[in-house]
Amino acid sequence: MKFGGSSLADAQSIRNSIKIVEQYLQKGAQVAVVASALSEVTNGLVDAADEAAAGEIATVNAFVKKQREFHNSIVNECIHEKDILTKVTRELDDALGELEGILESVARLKELTPRSRDFILSFGERMSAPILCGTSNDMRVRAEWFSGTDAGITTDENFGDAYPLMDITVRNVKAKLEPLLNSGVVPVVAGYGASSPHGIATTLGRGGSDYTATIVGAALAADEIVLWKDVDGLMTADPDLEPDARVLPRVSYSEASEMAYFGTKAIHPRAMEPVIDTKIPIRIRNAFNLPNEGTLIHGDKLERTEEVVKAITLVKKVAMINVTGTGMQGLPGVAARIFKTLGDFGINILMISQSSSEAGISFVTARDKLQRATSALELSILGSRLAKNLSAEDDVCVIAAVGAGMKGTLGVAARVFKAVADAGVNVRMIAQGSSELNISFVVSEKDGPTAVHALHDEFDLGR
């Protein structure tokens, strides 16, 4: 089980999380728990790291003081037994002292490396895990907590978005956690953080506690992985945009992956990877709405349904870049040069489209990377005269229609673009992968909600 930040927002929510664990234990289950940082703490750590890089020592010290007060107030509400309270308070003081030290070092040097940033961001979960563990013991549910490193989660050194080394991780996690499970103890693992084989702190990317849960679940050969959140599950659309959006009871790993990559925040984009081969199901449930069974994510062999499209997603805060020029036609290596340049600058590409004439390539990236991307391409592509023009648009969004039923079904694209056109929305760029699980396209940001609503209606997803 993984408990998200909203499930750990306050003392009542934390104790409620332990009650959920206890219910499963009473039914004879063995439960391992992964903890996210307390609500909004990771965002605060991101800001504090940036302030430290700017040399703002006073701001950093004020942040640490605020976190000490916040976490201690939660602990004092959650834990009533004196010995447990003393132990957890000491663990928090040690973590906060270490955090303050690294932030002050960054502030004095005015240098924040990816390695230092990962170490700083891992502290949110390193503070929440002992609180969740202490609360569990206070409620007479025996527990022991581990950092991701102590639990044995091992990754490469791609700081900020590390990739787990599963063979090593499986051996380590089984050795550390299985004896506890067999003796009736609940292991509580701090999510998001891990370490390289050399013991250097790494993180799994924002939202990475989901990833931690599936890594641990795969290592322990779990029967099911439950991600407890503040939403009822994956939905047919963002309910803030589409009032008729409903919870999807079942989706495949592939569909969930597409939905995660294209906008839904209910699950980490790579969280399915550790369990696909073992076919361990993942369930997304609402910790505050227990009667709802949520969404079950399972193997790709789905029963036949009438749903051609299952969900419509919208990705905000993106930008579209167009590289054009007749000199690109028939010239090998232009696309490779473009994407290598972007990769060298750490810029990820969400979707790509190229005209058959080879005179233009369009692609979408995160809006906050736009300036860096265009500067890099101006030097690499325009400077070498491989292309003539470079343009960008930052008032766009990506719409994606997702569903396994699209594969081999005639006329899906026609329905998608007719519905959007009938709603008066102009499409600026189109991409569809060979898997046929999604059709993605770019529209202006102001037209995004209209496009979502039109497609939700066209495929009758609110029924």
CATH of residue 388's domain is: 3.30.2130.10
Nearest to 63 by CA among 51, 72, 76, 53: 51
Q: Residue 258 falls within a domain, yes or no?
A: no
Two structure tokens written together for 326: 């007749």
| 175 and 78 in a common domain | yes
- Strand, coil or helix: 396: strand
The per-residue pLDDT for 144 is 98
CB 252 within 8 A of CB 300: yes
The per-residue pLDDT for 44 is 95
Could you say which residues of the chain have pLDDT below 70? 262-265, 300-306, 326-333, 355-359, 382-387, 433-435
The per-residue pLDDT for 406 is 85
Q: Residue 269 falls within a domain, yes or no?
A: no
Q: Residue 67 falls within a domain, yes or no?
A: yes
One-character DSSP codes across 90-131: HHHHHHHHHHHHHHHHHHHHT---HHHHHHHHTHHHHHHHHH
| 177 and 30 in a common domain | yes
Q: What is the CATH number of the domain that holds 35?
A: 3.40.1160.10
Strand partners, 202: 194
Please identify which residue in the block is written with the tokens 């736009």. 370
| 328 and 197 in a common domain | no
Q: Residue 447 falls within a domain, yes or no?
A: yes
Two structure tokens written together for 285: 């449930």
The per-residue pLDDT for 303 is 44
| 316 and 182 in a common domain | no
Q: Residue 74 falls within a domain, yes or no?
A: yes
CB 34 within 8 A of CB 259: no
Q: Residue 294 falls within a domain, yes or no?
A: no
Rounded CA-CA distance 189/199 in Å is 17
The per-residue pLDDT for 404 is 84
| 178 and 56 in a common domain | yes
Output phi, psi for 336, to 5 deg: -60, -40
For 373, the enclosing helix (H) or strand (E) is helix 370-377
At CB < 8 A and 24+ separation, what contacts does 74-83 make?
Answer: 74/10, 74/11, 74/14, 74/38, 74/131, 75/131, 75/134, 77/10, 77/11, 78/11, 78/14, 78/15, 78/131, 78/134, 78/135, 78/138, 79/134, 79/135, 79/138, 80/138, 81/137, 81/138
Q: What is the pTM of this model?
A: 0.87
Rounded CA-CA distance 354/283 in Å is 38
| 170 and 48 in a common domain | yes
Nearest to 136 by CA among 18, 14, 1, 7: 18
| Last residue of one domain, picked from the residues 180, 197, 230 | 230
| Last residue of one domain, picked from the residues 188, 207, 230 | 230
| Last residue of one domain, picked from the residues 195, 230, 265 | 230
Tally of helices (H runs) and strands (E runs) in the chain: 15, 16
Q: Residue 349 falls within a domain, yes or no?
A: yes
Rounded CA-CA distance 115/128 in Å is 22
Domain containing residue 451: 311-458
Cβ atoms within 10 Å of 404's Cβ, excluding its own: 23
Q: Residue 274 falls within a domain, yes or no?
A: no
| Tally of domains in the chain | 2
At CB < 8 A and 24+ separation, what contacts does 339-348 make?
Answer: 341/376, 341/377, 341/380, 341/381, 342/373, 342/376, 342/377, 344/376, 345/372, 345/373, 345/376, 347/372, 347/373, 347/376
Two structure tokens written together for 93: 């003081």
| 198 and 53 in a common domain | yes
